[in-house]
Structures are given as C-alpha cells and as structure tokens.
A and B are shown apart, each in its own frame.
Chain A
Amino acid sequence: MVEMERAGLPTVSFTAAGFVKDARRSAQAFGLTALPIAVVPLPLTNQTPEEVRRAVDGCIDQVIQGLTESPATIVEAPAAGPAAERLTIEGADTLDALDRMNGLFLERGWSDAFPLVPPTPDRVERMLGGTRRARDEVVAVLEPGFGVGTVEKIAINAVMAGCRPEHLPVLLAAVEAVADPRFLLRIAAMSTGPHAPLILVNGPIVRQLGINSGRCALGPGAPSFPNVVIGRALRLVYMNVGQAYPGLMDMDTIGSANKFSLCAAENEEANPWEPFHVEKGFDRDQSTVTVQTVYGQTDVLDFANTTPERILQTVVSAATNIAIGSTGRWLEGHWADPRTKVTVRDHGLVMLCPEHAAIIAKHGWSKADIRRFLYENARMPFRLLRWTKEPSTLIAGRPDLQWLLQHPDLELPIFEVPDCFEIAVVGGPAGRSMYFYGAHEPVTKPIER
C-alpha cells in the first residue's frame, strides 16, 4: 500500500485491532508510518460474511477519513529511541552487572529471554577474528525492518548467543541465506505462523567445528553445543538486525520453541546417497549452510518396517496434514517476491535417520525414487487439500483451476512437483526419522571463512 501512496494513490487498509502496532511498524519500514488504516475489532479471517459486514459497518467512517484527510493529521509516528553504540552498566559486582545487562537487554527487546553472554568490546573483537571479512562489510540488509547486517553487528549477536569465533562464518552464511529473495524472509519473519529457520550444515566444517549430525543433533545438550549457539544467534539476528521483534513485527499467534534454535549437520558418513549440498550444486569439499523455514515437525517412528515402500508410507502419513499451511498451497500459485518476481514453491524436509536411509538404499532406491514415491502417495482429495482455504481465493487467484471445485474427491499431491520433498540424513541409531513441514524454499550458501 505504501508503494501505491508513492504512486500518488490515496489508500486505506483494513487492519485488526491486535495488529495496529505491527501495521504501523511495517509501514514505517517501508517509509510511511502514517499509512491510513481502518481498524476492525478482529482479524477478518475465521468470520462469517455477516460478521465481516458488521465489522466494516463499524469503521466505514475511518475508510472515508483515510481516503480524504491528510494522514499526518490522523496518526502520530511511534517514538523511536536509538541507543548508544556502547552501553555502560554499573553493578555491585560482576554478577550484578551481568544481571543488570540482561535486564536492560530484555527491557529493550534485544534478548530471546535466556541469559545472554555480554557482548563486551573484547569478546566482539575476538569473535571478529573468526572471519577474514571486514567488520563494516554489509553481509545483508534484513527484512522486515531493513536492518543493516554488518559483520560486526552479526558478531555482537553471535557473542550474545554464546558462539565461538569459529562459528561466525557459519552464521554469516546463514544470514546470507535468509536474505536471499528465494527465502522470502519478510513473510517468514512477520507471519502469524510459527515460521522458524532450520539450519542444516554440510561439508568439512561439520567435523572441524564438531557440529552434531548424530544422536540428539537438534539438541539440547553438550554434544550439540555449536548447533544450539549458531541457531540461537540466527534468532537474535532476526530480531536485532531484521527487527523481527515478537509482538512488533513477528506476529506469531502462539510462538514456537523451534524459534529459539534449530540447527543440525547432515550425517554425511551415514548418508548412502550424495550429501544434501552436493545435490544443490556444491562440491563435496565445500562447506555450506542451508536454511529452510519450517512450521514444525513430527517424529516419524517406524521400528517395524523393512521395505522402502512401508517406511516411506509412514512419512506420507506425517506429510499429509491438512492443518499445515503449505499443504496444497501450490494450487493458489507460487510464492514470489513482488520486487524481484523470483518464484518459490513450498518444500517439506524429510530428515531420514541413518537406519531408515540404509534400508531404503539397500533396496536400490535413489533420492529421486523417494521423491517420486512421496509425490505419488502424499495425496488427498481436493476437498481435504483445501479444507482450510476458501473457494473464493482459488476462484480469484487461479481461475484456470476453478473446475476443481466440481471434483471434490479428485486426489491431488500436497506439493506441486517431486522436488518439493527435500531429503537429508541426520541422527543416530534407531528407526526414528523426522518430517518438517516447510514453508517456501531452502536456500544453500557456501561458508567462507
């Protein structure tokens, strides 16, 4: 809507009362804090047409006002208080100063709410020693707040998360991944859904840094120390660089423990196929980081079956979930960044445990065979595929597919093409794989030291 104002069009947007702060901050990020809104009591979703009509009846004067009165007379910009680049915290002793620093960072919204390591100038300097990149180099500008992610700012957040200097290059590559237009960071960071960045590390750096790819790879605990702190640092970067602060620009309805930290390495030794990053076009000896937005995951317990078909049928059972936003969303069209028009399909991620992977490979199945099986079997009737979606969105967005409305029992795949199923091998012994419900597309970047 800001772009429409820029083009000379007066606008007004319906906004639910619980999202006014978010709307203001988003509009501010795009350059027009005073973008006019008409406030309805509740989101328009999950309401009957009659309830929506009543909500509009209650704010039609705001609509007229928004289109006919100068916005500056209606809205005041929120107060912005830039803090100093260096802060001095006084305490009775070291622990008291640390408590006060954590209190201050909580107050300012800079914390994920766990205690932080103090980003002292010395610690940040040591962290910067983990990369050859200049401290003032801009790694990425992160949405939704268009924060300038310099190496130094990312390093400060890495210190706070507990990272060591050797972890910094992994984090820098992860930041580059989430800034890629294919990642659709603005949607992932601001949504009402529990979108969390899942980090997957490949290549020699896994062994060099001791990133856990085996038992308990996703943590918690000492074996996953690098995983936990790298994942945590990316969350802090989302907040302190991208400004995805909870309740302000991160409008997640319930939230998710996945958002604190979600990082694993691929267990390449136990992978009977080519590693994940090689599939993405990188050399085996190139270390990479992949980031995929996920809504959540489910355990895929299968101790009983000994054939690819039966094990993958268990994965199919997990994947065919009508409560997940990406299920069947391909019918509405492709995601895209409106500026670059880069189009993106939703992807799901199968984390196969080594035992399941070995059984599948032993029968001569390739990853392409797995994808084909999942694509052909993870299907459901059209009426279930669109259980949470209104017919009107299909009619408007994909008029070429309107005919499907007359065929509610037609079986359709949850994803548009087999390649929408990503496959990685992670974990230790025992037949428990994991299926991640993904949003958008994974992005892989090389790790440069």
Chain B
Amino acid sequence: MRLEVLNPQAATIEQTVKAAHRPSDLQGKRIGLYWNLKAGGDHALTRAAELLTERLPGVTFKRYWGEVGSLFRMATASDVERIAAECDAVIGTTSD
C-alpha cells in the first residue's frame, strides 16, 4: 500500500542580517544596557556593568528599555536608531 500525502509545513520568509563588526576590545567603549523589563534583567545588567568596569578601563554605560510594550518592552526602529547613535555595543536582557 502506498499513501501519498502533502507536506503541511509552509515555506518561510528567509531573512539575512549580517552581524555587526566587532571591536577587538571594549576599552573606552560606550555600552548600552538594554533591559526588556523582564524581572531580574536589571540586576544582571548592573552586575555585567560592574564586572566590565573592573576589567576594561574607560568603558561607560547607558541604560535603555523599549519604547513600546507592557510587562516587557520591545525596541522600535527609533529606539534602535537612538541606541546606535549613542553606543558602540549593547548587552541585552532577557531572552528568557
């Protein structure tokens, strides 16, 4: 017995984004601390900033959260534009 069936899985729209160029080190860099407002994320970013400050002279930090959302926030295009203008790199939390 041969049963022929159709594949139920849809094609997906494939997107390709090139990763940003990385600096060889973070000394003196401006780092954005992006929190999506999920609980605990603020503590993680605070600790990350403390540890990086100990290791990397001249590094500075600025905090952000998304413009839209409720109990967790998402970044809009204008958020991304602003962060890109003000920072050299971003640490984000939390992707669960």
Inter-subunit contact B2/A90 (CB<8 Å): yes
Q: How far is the CB of B62 from chain A (nearest CB, A)?
A: 12
The contact of B19 among A70, A100, A149, A153, by CB within 8 Å, is A70
**Is A131 part of the binding interface, using a Cβ–Cβ cutoff of 8 Å?**
no
Which of A210-218, A312-320, A388-396 lies on the face that meets chain B? A388-396
Interchain CA distance A139-B35 in the complex, whole Å: 35
Task: Compute the total of residue contacts between A and B using a CB distance below 8 Å.
Answer: 296
The contact of A148 among B8, B10, B77, by CB within 8 Å, is B10
Inter-subunit contact B3/A97 (CB<8 Å): yes
Q: How far is the CB of A426 from chain B (nearest CB, A)?
A: 28
Query: Which residue of the partner chain A has the closest CB to B81?
Result: A7
Looking at B41, B71, B87, the one whose CB has the most chain A CB atoms below 10 A away is B71
Interchain CA distance A35-B12 in the complex, whole Å: 19
Inter-subunit contact B70/A329 (CB<8 Å): yes
Query: Which residue of the partner chain A has the closest CB to B55?
Result: A64
Interchain CA distance A65-B79 in the complex, whole Å: 25
**Is A360 part of the binding interface, using a Cβ–Cβ cutoff of 8 Å?**
no
Inter-subunit contact A53/B96 (CB<8 Å): no
Query: Which residue of the partner chain B has the closest CB to A191?
Result: B96
Whether A145 contacts B65 in the complex (CB less than 8 A), given A97-B1, A101-B5, comes out as: no
Q: How far is the CB of A244 from chain B (nearest CB, A)?
A: 12
Which residues, 11 to 46 on B, are CB-close (under 8 Å) to A?
Answer: 11-26, 31-32, 34-35, 37-44
Inter-subunit contact B1/A3 (CB<8 Å): no
Inter-subunit contact B70/A31 (CB<8 Å): no
Whether A32 contacts B19 in the complex (CB less than 8 A), given A330-B70, A393-B37, comes out as: yes
**Is A251 part of the binding interface, using a Cβ–Cβ cutoff of 8 Å?**
yes
Inter-subunit contact A30/B17 (CB<8 Å): yes
Whether A47 contacts B40 in the complex (CB less than 8 A), given A11-B89, A70-B19, comes out as: yes
Which of A54-62, A222-230, A283-291 lies on the face that meets chain B? A54-62
Inter-subunit contact A84/B7 (CB<8 Å): yes
Interchain CA distance A67-B27 in the complex, whole Å: 12
Which residues, 145 to 166 on A, are CB-close (under 8 Å) to B?
Answer: 145-150, 153, 156-157, 160
Whether A240 contacts B10 in the complex (CB less than 8 A), given A11-B92, A56-B48, comes out as: yes
Inter-subunit contact B8/A153 (CB<8 Å): yes
Inter-subunit contact B71/A86 (CB<8 Å): no
Q: How far is the CB of A399 from chain B (nearest CB, A)?
A: 11
Against B, the Cβ 8 Å flags (1 = close, 0 = not) of A104-118 are 010010100000001
Whether A43 contacts B22 in the complex (CB less than 8 A), given A60-B48, A146-B15, comes out as: no
**Is A241 part of the binding interface, using a Cβ–Cβ cutoff of 8 Å?**
yes
Q: How far is the CB of B51 from chain A (nearest CB, A)?
A: 5
Interchain CA distance A343-B26 in the complex, whole Å: 37
Interchain CA distance A142-B11 in the complex, whole Å: 11
Complex interface: chain A residues within 8 A of B5 (CB): 86-87, 89, 101, 118-120
Interchain CA distance A343-B50 in the complex, whole Å: 36
Whether A148 contacts B21 in the complex (CB less than 8 A), given A15-B95, A397-B37, comes out as: no
Interchain CA distance A308-B11 in the complex, whole Å: 51
Interchain CA distance A83-B8 in the complex, whole Å: 10
Complex interface: chain B residues within 8 A of A243 (CB): 12
Against A, the Cβ 8 Å flags (1 = close, 0 = not) of B66-80 are 111111011111011
Complex interface: chain A residues within 8 A of B6 (CB): 85-87, 119-121, 124, 156
Whether A14 contacts B44 in the complex (CB less than 8 A), given A3-B77, A45-B39, comes out as: yes
Q: How far is the CB of B18 from chain A (nearest CB, A)?
A: 8
Complex interface: chain A residues within 8 A of B74 (CB): 336, 338
Inter-subunit contact A397/B19 (CB<8 Å): no
Interchain CA distance A30-B94 in the complex, whole Å: 17
Complex interface: chain B residues within 8 A of A160 (CB): 8
Against B, the Cβ 8 Å flags (1 = close, 0 = not) of A26-39 are 10011110111100
Interchain CA distance A142-B9 in the complex, whole Å: 12
Inter-subunit contact B1/A94 (CB<8 Å): yes
**Could you give 10 example pairs across A and B, Cβ below 8 Å?**
A10-B23, A10-B89, A13-B92, A15-B95, A43-B40, A87-B4, A120-B4, A120-B5, A146-B12, A329-B70
The 7 nearest A-B residue pairs measured at CB: A44-B40, A31-B15, A336-B68, A31-B17, A147-B10, A97-B3, A338-B74
Residues of chain A touching chain B, judged by Cβ–Cβ distance below 8 Å, are 1-16, 19, 22-23, 26, 29-32, 34-37, 40, 43-47, 49, 52-53, 55-57, 60, 63-64, 67-72, 83-94, 96-98, 100-101, 105, 108, 110, 118-121, 124, 141-142, 145-150, 153, 156-157, 160, 192, 236, 240-241, 243, 251, 325, 329-330, 332-339, 341, 343, 346, 389-390, 392-393, 396-397
